[in-house]
Amino acid sequence: MRVYMMNINPDPMLTGKVKHFFKDGLNHLGKPTHDFVPDINIGGLGVAPWHNQIKFNEKTKELMLTPNQDPNVNKTYLNGELVLGNQPLKHGDWVLFGNNQLYIICVPPNEIDKSLLDYEDAMW
């Protein structure tokens, strides 16, 4: 099974409908532009092209999140805390890109606790 991040939506019927699988190595995240297509397309308010990157080591299943731009302007939050530098990611972590693009990190074979999939809880 591959490691991925899954969306959490304000509408529970839409939660889990978007899954982005990580490739081994660097995964660039952000909005596509006419001259840049990120590995993982994250749209929405407050998300910039080259918003950040996640380095994935397939052998160890380790993930490292790195902001690519000014983190005070192009914001990413990890479990409610603003990411200002490199941050390891683990199973069950909430990652908020920009103003409202919320995802949860999934590292199989671990199961996701259904209580972690509530958008309102995660945003507080």
- Could you give the CA distance from residue 59 to residue 5 in angstroms, rounded to a whole number? 18
pLDDT for 53 equals 95
Answer yes or no: is pLDDT of 43 > 80: yes
pLDDT per residue as tens digits for the range 7-26: 999 999 999 999 999 999 99
Answer yes or no: is pLDDT of 32 > 80: yes
CB atoms within 10 A of CB 97: 27
pLDDT for 123 equals 80
Q: Are 121 and 115 in contact (CB under 8 A)?
A: yes
pLDDT per residue as tens digits for the range 53-96: 999 999 999 999 999 878 888 899 999 999 999 999 999 999 99
